[in-house]
Amino acid sequence: MSQRTRLFRRKDPYDLPASDEQFLRAVRENCAFHYAHCPEYRAVLDSFSFRPEDLREYADLEKLPFLPTLTFKKHRLFSLPRWRMAAVSTSSGTSGQFSEVGFDFPALWCDWNMLWKIGRPRGFFSPRPTHYVILGYKPRRDNRTSVARTAFGATLLAPALSRTYALKYENGSYTPDLDGVADALVRCGKSRFPTRLVGFPSYTYFLLRLLESRGVRLSLPPGSKILLGGGWKQFYTQQVEKPVLYDLAQRVLGIPEEHIIEVFSAVEHPILYADCVHHHFHVPIYSRVIIRDPETLAPLPPGQPGLVEFLTPLLTATPILAVMTDDLGILHPAGSCPCGNPAPWLEILGRVGLKDIKTCAAGAAELLGKGGDVL
Ligand SMILES: [Zn+2]
């Protein structure tokens, strides 16, 4: 059994200290694989005179050379031939460049394992038939973005009675149909089955505002939920409005705050982070976070803001085992959340050079802005 499989089979997804040794072994195995099969990755490690065998103890993970996420937007790095990949995931190309990351078959198994262990305690799975309102893209064959896929994947967590999408593909482009979505929600309000709202925080906020302006007051049946997500880039732009969003959801849809769950994941770090009841993103055992000084890149102690680096041994098709984002964040110390989850939690503060980069959320907000004066 591979070291990666052993890591993903572990029972408790948040017991980091108990999994440290296994995490190290899995990263070393992963590093050796990419070193042997991806010439570009080997060149990077060679340029730092770093060999996979140099990962001897857990503290050595800090020394593993990382690749900036930008690398994956500019280059296609693969350690497996295409025919051995189960799927290829791409980031949304709002800025013109996008990353492409391959999934091998065992990685998909790991993925499902992770989804089950992270999602179950937060009530992701339910046997009850459910209406879905997706504030995102209606799937198309040529839309391979992880955002569209994840949104569709979310509708498989409980049997789908209906699916309504906010962005429909018409005449060669996506157009928002918030009115259609609002009408669908009102219909769902009359159903005895629960409804799940899935989408970017920005979309959800706009929709709730639209409903409120129409005087809509629903009381969706118990089991109804809001799943917020769509990539960590959305966070900080929306953060201020979160409490407002929770209030609105309660007022307009009758969904209490504890049933609003936020997740994040990224193409270059496809690990599922789900928030706890205090809306903190605890680091699961499949991932490690290193916060680095933006100037010196030296690792910083917990509680200090810096650049966010992610590690995971999830994929053998693409060398994403250590990626440096252009986000600033804080890793709050283990045991510091009142929810009882012992794992440290990650807070994303913002992006370096924010104004230069058009984010996916900004693109979405722009698109929605064109669709009607909901603001
Ligand atoms: Zn917590």
Q: How far is Cα 226 from Cα 110, in angstroms, rounded to an integer?
A: 25
Strand partners, 145: 90
- 8 CA distance to ligand 1 middle (Å): 21
Greatest alpha-carbon span in the chain: 64
- 308 CA distance to ligand 1 middle (Å): 19
Cα–Cα distances in Å, from 77 out to 12, 29, 273, 320? 32, 18, 25, 9
| 195-218 residue pLDDT tens | 999 988 877 888 898 899 989 899
| 147-191 residue pLDDT tens | 666 777 788 889 999 999 888 777 777 787 888 888 899 999 999
Question: What percentage of residues in the chain have a pLDDT greater than 70?
Answer: 86
| 216-247 residue pLDDT tens | 899 999 999 999 986 445 445 545 568 888 99
Per-residue confidence (pLDDT) for residue 144, from 0 to 100:
60
- 92 CA distance to ligand 1 middle (Å): 29
| Res. 107: pLDDT tops 70 | yes
- 329 CA distance to ligand 1 middle (Å): 17
Identify which of 49-58, 80-89, 351-360 has the greatest average pLDDT: 49-58
| Res. 375: pLDDT tops 60 | no
- 243 CA distance to ligand 1 middle (Å): 17
Query: How far separated are the first and last CA of the chain, in Å rounded?
Result: 54
Per-residue confidence (pLDDT) for residue 365, from 0 to 100:
45
| Res. 135: pLDDT tops 90 | no
pLDDT band per the 50, 70, 90 thresholds, residue 358: very low
- 282 CA distance to ligand 1 middle (Å): 6
The model's pTM is: 0.86
Per-residue confidence (pLDDT) for residue 329, from 0 to 100:
92
Out of 104-113, 136-145, 169-178, 263-272, pick the least confident.
136-145
pLDDT band per the 50, 70, 90 thresholds, residue 255: very high
- 20 CA distance to ligand 1 middle (Å): 20
Per-residue confidence (pLDDT) for residue 261, from 0 to 100:
93
pLDDT band per the 50, 70, 90 thresholds, residue 86: confident
* List of domains in the chain: 67-375 (3.40.50.12780)
Per-residue confidence (pLDDT) for residue 160, from 0 to 100:
93
- 269 CA distance to ligand 1 middle (Å): 21
Residue 311: closest CA among 295, 297, 329, 290: 290
Q: How far is Cα 349 from Cα 352, in angstroms, rounded to an integer?
A: 10
- 225 CA distance to ligand 1 middle (Å): 19
Give, as residue ranges, everything with CB less than 5 Å from ion ligand 1.
276, 278, 280, 337, 339, 341
- 346 CA distance to ligand 1 middle (Å): 10
Per-residue confidence (pLDDT) for residue 354, from 0 to 100:
44
| 293-340 residue pLDDT tens | 998 999 999 999 999 999 999 999 999 999 999 889 999 999 999 999
CB contact at 8 A, 270 and 101: yes
CB contact at 8 A, 297 and 272: no
- 334 CA distance to ligand 1 middle (Å): 10
Q: How far is Cα 332 from Cα 301, in angstroms, rounded to an integer?
A: 9
DSSP letter (8 states) at residue 306: E
- 342 CA distance to ligand 1 middle (Å): 8
Cα–Cα distances in Å, from 72 out to 90, 117, 147, 306? 10, 28, 17, 21
- 65 CA distance to ligand 1 middle (Å): 30
| Res. 97: pLDDT tops 80 | no
- 39 CA distance to ligand 1 middle (Å): 41
Per-residue confidence (pLDDT) for residue 236, from 0 to 100:
52
| 280-301 residue pLDDT tens | 999 999 999 999 999 899 999 9
Per-residue confidence (pLDDT) for residue 95, from 0 to 100:
55
Cβ-count burial of 127 within 10 angstroms (0-12 exposed, 13-18 middle, 19+ buried)?
exposed
- 276 CA distance to ligand 1 middle (Å): 5
- 281 CA distance to ligand 1 middle (Å): 7
Per-residue confidence (pLDDT) for residue 75, from 0 to 100:
85
- 38 CA distance to ligand 1 middle (Å): 38
- 283 CA distance to ligand 1 middle (Å): 10
Q: Is the dihedral of CA 274, 278, 279, 282 positive or negative?
A: negative
DSSP string covering 148-201, please? Answer: HHHHHHHTTSS-EEEEEEEEEEETTEEEE-HHHHHHHHHHHHTSSS-EEEEE-H
| 117-130 residue pLDDT tens | 999 999 999 999 99
CB contact at 8 A, 361 and 230: yes
Per-residue confidence (pLDDT) for residue 230, from 0 to 100:
60
- 264 CA distance to ligand 1 middle (Å): 15
| Res. 369: pLDDT tops 80 | no
